[in-house]
Amino acid sequence: MPTAPPRISLMAAAEVRDILTALQLGQSATAIAGLMAIDADSWQAIEQRLAALDGDLPAALRSLA
């Protein structure tokens, strides 16, 4: 039986939203704190979704800076 793909938790989704807002406001420390608050399973799901779009997290964050 195949395993289910990892899911992004609601808490992690809210963290990502807050990270993006912090970056837009130039609040790097807040963005870093948000990145550190995301759980491992959600990270895996985020990385898979970015890879499906031919992207990665560092590139996505750089595009917002």
Q: Where are the domains of the chain?
A: 10-64
Residue 4's pLDDT is 81
d(CA 42, CA 11) in angstroms, rounded, equals 9
Across the chain, mean pLDDT equals: 89
pTM above 0.85, yes or no: no
Q: Which residue has the higher pLDDT, 62 or 50?
A: 50
CB 45 within 8 A of CB 6: yes
pLDDT score, position 64: 72
Q: Which residue has tokens 């870093």?
A: 32
- CA separation for the pair 31, 9 (Å, rounded): 18
Continuous segment of H or E residues that includes residue 61: helix 57-64
Q: Which pLDDT belongs to residue 14? A: 97
More confident of the two residues 38 and 57? 38
